[in-house]
Amino acid sequence: LSTPSRPQPTHPLAVAPVTAPEATVDGFVEQFLRNLNNGRGVALSASTPNDRYFALAATVRDYLMARWLEDVRRQRTAQSKGVAYLSAEYLLGRQLDNNLLATGLTEIAGEALAACGLDIDEVRALEIEPGLGNGGLGRLAACFIDSLATMGVPNIGYGIRYEYGIFRQTFVDGQQVEQADSWLSLGSPWEFPHPEAAQTISFGGHTETYDDDGVVRSRWIPAWNVQAVPHNYMVPGYHNGRVNTLRLWSAQATQGFDLRTFNSGDYQEAVRAQTYAENISKVLYPEDSTPQGKELRLQQQYFFVAASISDFVNLILPRDFDLTRLPERVIFQLNDTHPVIGVPELMRVLVDEKGLEWDAAWAITRECFAYTCHTLLPEALEVWPSDLLGRLLPRHLEIIYRINDEFLDEVRERYGDDEDRIRRMSIIAPDGAVRMAFLATVAGSKVNGVAELHSQLLREKVLPDFDEFFPGKFTNVTNGVTPRRFVKLANPGLSRLITDTIGPGWLTDLDRLRELEPFADDASFRQAFASVKAANKRALAKTLHARDGFTVDDGHMLDVMVKRLHEYKRQTLKLLHIVSQYDAIVSGRVSPAEVTPRTFVFGAKAAPGYAMAKRIIHLINAVGEVVNSDPRVEGRLAVLFPPNYNVTLAERVVPAADLSEQISLAGKEASGTGNMKFALNGALTIGTDDGANVEIRQLVGDENFFLFGMTEPEVATLAETGYHPIDFVRADENLQSALDLISSGAFSCGDGSVFEPVVSNLVHHDPFMALADFTSYAAAQQKVDALYADTEAWTRSAILNVARSGFFSSDRSMRDYIDRIWHTPPVR
Ligand code: B1H
């Protein structure tokens, strides 16, 4: 019997490559109306704003589609080595403008909508940004996939499609109240769900051994499954016709699971099971830098990593692929420890499912992973209790034990029975918990930190035994940010000025900003530059007025601190300085005319369970309320704290800022990426020698950077010799009276007890030494005032910040990863 052959396509269109709509206003209008009519089922005259936004998004997608399908096809045939970026977070920001920019359709789309009687600005305002990340780590992942697409490097980003992203922050009586971020409630026009391609992901149960032709093997008998449904997003390169893929997994209950329970008659139980399964991708954990060891979080991690590995190994690779050659096809980059459970998962797949020998599988695994560490905070290094791991992933725990046993054997071979060293290096902590950073370090082909200082401290202080044991494994890749979003989209005025001055091409070759350097001495260029900054400030003022009802005085210096609220970042240091300036004026020590008019802008979300961070938010709002309504400082000081700082707001705030506050305690901020965005947009930095500030200062020059505070070795020495914050209070009258003013209840209707926990924590503990750096910070702020008074000199410095910050393009970060870690050249 012959199998019936399928009919072959005969129509020319069916065999021709997919084509894009015509890139003209007419072509765009036609496609837009078709999407509105056929996709939304409405006529233009009856369409809602949401219909129009969806139709516009669909139209932009249509222009990208041919390139996307072509890239997927090309990668399938070429099978060249690519990067599988594993990240629990992608903080993408809005998609519409970015995708219009990538396709070069921005003008055409605006004209096309105008021709339909629509204002594209009104339509674009409807987009809700997908907040699938907490802060810098998630935003970094978004910048990296943008750069890889722009450079033509094969890449899939893998992550989780949280139903609720980072919470929406509101303030009630100055205190943070979290609201659910239901970003999907009106639908999501940028994603392509593929429920038919769901993967089954297993959990729980037990392991058993069995006889496989005389060989004893282990296998996992799981207890329950969920489905992982892929949702694909386009990741377009800038003006290069390339489109990579971001694949986010969503959890769904499996049919079989429900039916079993349902057939037993317990309908309620069946529904409960469904809810349980779907919980896995329900919500992003809102902790930035302090992971909670929660079972659901481990479920999330395994869920997306197992789905991603299976996707790559079973679907992307050809069926007959020789898995010993896996390292020639893929590098799985671990974005922090969150995806590290992928290490034992790949081992399980290779050994238990594909039948490879352990040693062969381990050799493959060690080449296929690399690990990026994003922190130095001990509380941020993830550990998983072994009972939890054993309950949820029993086979993985066995595999981790064996990896550890063999690793410790090697350590013994090298150092003898140095039990102290063995205890220090064991992947399993004395209490039985699994140290995920150690597992990643043992398994990873490379381990990198995210700025020079961070990588150095990582080697010297966090993982020194491993650095000694694995020479050459540790490296640095300094973070970067995408200039497409954070210069071109966020700052069109500056972008135009740059192009007018040095010509096009700099947006994908950011070192070319150096060519601006000579123009710092050109008065007419300085004037043009300053007027761009002024226009950006007015635009921000307009946004903040519409969004929050704030007014921003013309002519104020804009002094900005936007980032997650964390004690190590020291928002309190900034606040104490504001309070001391306010105090100096109202107590008559300085006249208002002596103070540089400044508007202080804060943006910060606190983790919902982080009580001290929430008190600090309350205090910032309380100080703002008093300062903003006190006639004695009117026109001189203002404190604005727009709630719900996110990528969309960042794109407004960053280009408007004069002064960028990067004031973490030295040795605590791994890199920072906001610092780079500000420098690239012509803000000057006041900052400590921490994270990437170090490199920013080296590049822009000491004269164009306000350095203050202890260095990391000085911090270490002070901690060793004993830190007594009260000594620093006694030594600085301004600090003393600022603290007294808060304690007096000046910002809490006379009730000093409200902020007592913040003040006493500072005076008695001050774990991040804000008080020790106060005097030096205040002195640096005086230098800020002095330079700002000389408008020409300030502008000159601002221009040099832009000209010398090209290094911080994420394109450069990607080149460094490719050269030092991935070895995945662009595919032409
Ligand atoms: C960074 C995190 C982080 N480091 C745990 N670590 C999380 C840790 O959900 N969690 O449990 C979430 C996030 N995030 C940041 O990474 C660093 O603090 C920044 O300094 C750095 O610039 C950024 C990107 O490397």
Q: Supply the DSSP string of 755-797, one letter for each residue.
A: THHHHHHHHHT-TT-TTTTHHHHHHHHHHHHHHHHSHHHHHHH
Q: Classify domain 79-94+129-478+816-822 at the CATH topology level.
A: Rossmann fold (3.40.50)
| CB atoms inside a 10 Å sphere around CB 787 | 17
**Active-site residue, 677 included:** yes
Buried b (16+ CB within 10 A) or exposed e, 192-227: eeeeeebbebbbebebeeeeeeeeeebebebeebbb
**Active-site residue, 282 included:** no
What percent of the chain is modeled with pLDDT above 90? 94
**Strand 199-203, strand 684-687: pairing:** unpaired
Confidence of residue 762 (pLDDT cuts 50, 70, 90): very high
For residue range 155-199, list pLDDT tens digits in order: 999 999 999 999 999 999 999 999 999 999 999 999 999 999 999
- How many A from CA of 375 to the centre of ligand 1? 6
**Active-site residue, 446 included:** no
Confidence of residue 123 (pLDDT cuts 50, 70, 90): very high
* Residue from 288, 562, 567 to probe ligand 1 pocket by mutation (most atoms less than 8 Å from CB): 288
**Active-site residue, 563 included:** yes
- How many A from CA of 137 to the centre of ligand 1? 5
* Residue from 139, 340, 375 to probe ligand 1 pocket by mutation (most atoms less than 8 Å from CB): 375
- How many A from CA of 335 to the centre of ligand 1? 9
For residue range 463-514, list pLDDT tens digits in order: 999 999 999 999 999 999 999 999 999 999 999 999 999 999 999 999 999 9
Taking the CA atoms of residue 468, residue 472, residue 478 and residue 481 in that order, the dihedral angle to the nearest 10 degrees is -130
- Tell me, yes or no, if the two domains 79-94+129-478+816-822 and 527-808 fold the same way: yes
**What's the pLDDT at 735?**
98
- The span from the CA of 644 to the CA of 632, in Å, is 30
Q: Which of 348, 563, 566, 618 is catalytic?
A: 563
Yes or no: say if 556 and 535 are a contact pair by the CB < 8 Å rule: no
| CB atoms inside a 10 Å sphere around CB 523 | 11
Q: Domain 527-808 sits in which CATH superfamily?
A: Glycogen Phosphorylase B; (3.40.50.2000)
Q: Is the CB of 288 under 6 A from ligand 1?
A: yes
* Alpha-carbon distances of 25 from 30, 34, 56, 66, 751, rounded to whole Å: 9, 14, 13, 19, 63
Yes or no: say if 822 and 75 are a contact pair by the CB < 8 Å rule: no
Domain range list for the chain? 22-67+103-128, 79-94+129-478+816-822, 527-808
Q: What is the ipTM of this complex?
A: 0.98
Q: Specify the DSSP class assigned to residue 485.
A: I
Report CA 448 to chain centroid distance, whole Å.
Answer: 17
Q: Is the CB of 477 under 6 A from ligand 1?
A: no
Yes or no: say if 681 and 494 are a contact pair by the CB < 8 Å rule: yes
Q: Is the CB of 166 under 6 A from ligand 1?
A: no
First-to-last C-alpha distance (Å) of the chain: 46
In terms of pTM, does the model score above 0.95?
yes
Identify any residues that bridge with 332 across adjacent strands, giving them in sequence order.
Answer: 84, 369
| CB atoms inside a 10 Å sphere around CB 686 | 25
**What's the token pair of residue 435?**
């140290």
Q: Is 530 exposed, middle or buried (0-12, 13-18, 19+ CB in 10 A)?
A: middle
* 291 CA closest ligand 1 atom index: 11
- How many A from CA of 374 to the centre of ligand 1? 5
- How many A from CA of 551 to the centre of ligand 1? 33
Q: Is the CB of 691 under 6 A from ligand 1?
A: yes
What is the residue with the minimal CA distance to atom 19 of ligand 1?
Answer: 672
* Alpha-carbon distances of 683 from 401, 495, 669, 828, rounded to whole Å: 50, 15, 20, 37
- Dihedral over Cα of 661, 664, 666, 667: its sign: negative
Yes or no: say if 558 and 606 are a contact pair by the CB < 8 Å rule: no
Confidence of residue 289 (pLDDT cuts 50, 70, 90): confident
Confidence of residue 2 (pLDDT cuts 50, 70, 90): low
Q: Is the CB of 681 under 6 A from ligand 1?
A: no
- How many A from CA of 213 to the centre of ligand 1? 48
pLDDT above 80 (res 1) = no
What is the residue with the minimal CA distance to atom 6 of ligand 1?
Answer: 289
| CB atoms inside a 10 Å sphere around CB 42 | 15
**Strand 243-253, strand 224-236: pairing:** antiparallel
Cβ contacts of residue 500 below 8 Å, gap of 6+?
none
pLDDT above 70 (res 32) = yes
